[in-house]
């Protein structure tokens, strides 16, 4: 607890590393998670494959679970 799966367009490795480190620290700070309980995965998806691999099966199919959808807060 927690497990965070991030899918994004390709980015430079240093940007990915920085974002994951900040996410890790945020979970420790905001939720009080010990580091050993945090798991973060990151998968880069090419833009031309986004709709097939992420849009339809993960965003559209689970729209009711989205906390922020297309930049809009839903809470």
**All residues at 6 or more sequence positions from 44 whose CB lies less than 8 Å from its CB, including other chains:** 7, 8, 9, 10, 11, 16
| Inter-residue contact 1 to 40 (CB < 8 Å) | no
- pTM exceeds cut of 0.85: yes
Average pLDDT value for residue range 41-51: 98
What is the pLDDT of the chain when averaged over all its residues?
A: 97
Give 9-35 pLDDT, tens digit per residue: 999 999 999 999 999 999 999 999 999
Dig out the tokens for 30 from the structure: 């905001």
Instruction: Give the three-class secondary structure for 40.
Output: strand
CATH code assigned to 1-44: 3.30.429.10
């Amino acid at each position: 607890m927690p497990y965070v799966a991030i899918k994004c367009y390709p980015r430079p490795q240093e940007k990915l590393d920085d974002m994951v480190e900040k996410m890790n620290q945020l979970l420790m700070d905001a939720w009080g998670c010990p580091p050993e309980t945090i798991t973060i995965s990151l998968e880069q998806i090419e833009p031309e494959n986004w709709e097939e691999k992420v849009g339809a099966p993960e965003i559209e199919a689970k729209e009711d679970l989205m906390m922020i959808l297309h930049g809009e807060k839903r809470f």
